[in-house]
């Protein structure tokens, strides 16, 4: 269990963490989401005692990280994939960590096999790709067989097979009753990996709840997609019952709000109109996230059309100067 209470951290007069509180519980994968600069890495660093908060506290298993007697056995962390000395091999790095933390040396081979680095175990890390470094970082996090895992963007640089493997690994670790907190910007991946979602923006919690509730809360009002060869009369009948019907692009396709799928089906059945599709529209985690963070993003890019317009202006300016 990780407990963060009223955490405040200021850098150069800027409040990066602004009274952040949450609990990451055992037996689930908690996705830690937020726009660039929201304070995710800072939070993870505070949990690991790598910085001093101005106020508030972060506890793992009920105590501050610094008070853990065998930290690597309690908390495994991946913060920076390039933390290993470039001249060292994965085996040397892991063996050194195992020795200094009284971890069974046999565990080194086990984690190397687990992350798929056996064939590169004796090569210096300097020649490693980002994905291989990530795998090594994950091996380090798992070395002490910890009950809590903190992983900062662990999917970065992994190939599709690696991402799929990591998805299964995180699930298995949570199913074993461990606490797994994973920061990521990969919404589609988090949507299939996490069961709990914590979204922060500007150092504050924007949402903290089960993935399913977060996503269904974004479906407001709930909508139902229908496809029917009798769209005109059905749309008329649904509107008479107070529904809002918006025609889609495909033939016979529409989105209905204001009535449940069951109601829509019953109305169509009463008239003897066949319905080929009747599906509740579920927003994606990405949509839910974008809505939540719409006003909390620190950095926002310009839309491509605006860039084209800007280039147009620049061309005009150049033409003027010429």
Query: What pairs with residue 246 in β-bridges?
Result: 255
Q: Which is nearer to ligand ATP, 114 or 191 (CB)?
A: 191
Cβ atoms < 10 Å from Cβ of 95: 18
Q: Which is nearer to ligand ATP, 107 or 202 (CB)?
A: 202
Structure tokens given for 17: 């963490």
- The backbone torsions φ and ψ at residue 254, rounded to the nearest 5 degrees and listed phi first, read -155, 160
DSSP output for 228-244: -TTHHHHHHHHHHTT-E
DSSP output for 92-133: HHHHHHHHHTT--THHHHHHHHHHT-GGGTTS-GGG--HHHH
Q: Which is nearer to ligand ATP, 40 or 135 (CB)?
A: 40
Cα gap 230→285, rounded to integer Å: 33
In angstroms, what is the minimal distance from the CB of 270 to ligand ATP? 52
The site for ligand ATP (CB under 6 A) is made up of 11-12, 16, 34, 36-42
In angstroms, what is the minimal distance from the CB of 34 to ligand ATP? 5
Half-sphere exposure at residue 315, Cβ-oriented, CA atoms within 13 angstroms: 6
Q: Which is nearer to ligand ATP, 37 or 265 (CB)?
A: 37
Q: Which is nearer to ligand ATP, 39 or 53 (CB)?
A: 39
Q: Which is nearer to ligand ATP, 39 or 283 (CB)?
A: 39
Q: Which is nearer to ligand ATP, 63 or 294 (CB)?
A: 294
In angstroms, what is the minimal distance from the CB of 298 to ligand ATP? 7
Q: Which is nearer to ligand ATP, 190 or 254 (CB)?
A: 190
Contacts of 199 by beta carbon, 8 Å cutoff, 6+ apart? 33, 34, 205, 206, 207, 208, 214, 289, 292, 293
Q: Which is nearer to ligand ATP, 12 or 303 (CB)?
A: 12
Contacts of 211 by beta carbon, 8 Å cutoff, 6+ apart? 31, 191, 194, 195, 196, 197, 285
Structure tokens given for 266: 């019953």
Contacts of 210 by beta carbon, 8 Å cutoff, 6+ apart? 195, 196, 197
- The backbone torsions φ and ψ at residue 205, rounded to the nearest 5 degrees and listed phi first, read -75, 125
Structure tokens given for 199: 């979204």
In angstroms, what is the minimal distance from the CB of 16 to ligand ATP? 4
In angstroms, what is the minimal distance from the CB of 290 to ligand ATP? 15
Which parts of 20-89 fold into alpha helices (H)?
40-47, 71-74
Tokens 């997609």 correspond to 225
């Amino acid at each position: 269990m990780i407990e963060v209470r009223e955490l405040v951290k200021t850098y150069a007069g800027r409040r990066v963490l602004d009274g952040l509180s949450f609990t990451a519980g055992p037996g689930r994968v908690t996705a830690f989401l937020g726009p660039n600069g929201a304070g995710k890495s800072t939070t993870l660093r505070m949990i690991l005692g790598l910085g001093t908060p101005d106020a508030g506290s972060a506890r793992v298993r009920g105590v501050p990280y610094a008070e853990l007697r065998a930290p690597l056995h309690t908390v495994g962390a991946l913060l920076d994939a390039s933390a290993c000395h470039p001249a060292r091999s994965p085996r040397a790095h892991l063996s050194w960590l195992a020795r200094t933390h009284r971890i069974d040396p046999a565990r080194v081979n086990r984690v190397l096999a687990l992350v798929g680095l056996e064939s590169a175990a004796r090569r210096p890390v300097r020649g490693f790709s980002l994905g291989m470094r990530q795998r090594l970082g994950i091996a380090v996090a798992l070395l002490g067989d910890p009950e809590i895992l903190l992983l900062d963007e662990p999917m970065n640089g992994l190939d599709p097979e690696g991402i799929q493997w990591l998805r299964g690994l995180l699930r298995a670790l949570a199913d074993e009753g461990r606490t797994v907190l994973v920061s990521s910007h990969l919404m589609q991946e988090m949507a299939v990996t996490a069961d709990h979602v914590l979204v922060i923006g500007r150092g504050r919690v924007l949402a903290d709840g089960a993935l399913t509730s977060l996503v269904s809360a974004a479906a407001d009002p709930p909508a139902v997609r229908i496809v029917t060869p009798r769209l005109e009369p059905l749309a008329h009948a649904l509107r008479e019952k107070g529904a809002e019907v918006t025609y889609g692009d495909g033939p016979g396709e529409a989105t209905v709000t204001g009535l449940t799928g069951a109601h829509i089906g019953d109305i169509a059945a009463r008239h003897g109109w066949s319905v080929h599709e009747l599906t509740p529209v579920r927003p994606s985690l990405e949509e839910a996230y974008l809505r939540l963070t719409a006003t909390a993003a620190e950095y926002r890019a310009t839309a491509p059309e605006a860039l084209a317009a800007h280039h147009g202006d620049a061309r005009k300016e150049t033409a003027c100067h010429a």
